[in-house]
Homo-oligomer: A and B are copies of this chain.
Amino acid sequence: MSKVKLGAVPLVYPIPIVLVGSNVNGRANFVEVGDCAVMGIDPALVTISLSATHHTTSGIDECRAFSINLPSTQLLSRADYCGIVSGKDVDKSRLFTVFEGEQTGAPMIQECPVGLECRVQEVVHIKHRRIFIAEVLECYVSELFVETVDGKQRIADLSKLDPIIYALDNRYYRIGDAIGIGYREGICHEDS
Contact = CB atoms under 8 A, between A and B. Distances in A.
Interface of A: 1-16, 18, 34-41, 43-47, 49, 68, 70, 73, 76-85, 95, 99, 110, 114-116, 121-122, 124, 126-127, 129, 131, 133, 135-144, 146, 153-155, 157-158, 161, 163-190
A46 B12 contact: yes
21 contacts: A1-B143, A2-B142, A2-B143, A3-B143, A6-B140, A6-B146, A9-B136, A10-B40, A11-B141, A13-B158, A14-B14, A14-B175, A35-B40, A39-B126, A47-B49, A77-B185, A124-B133, A171-B178, A171-B181, A171-B182, A176-B176
Contacts of A44: 8-10
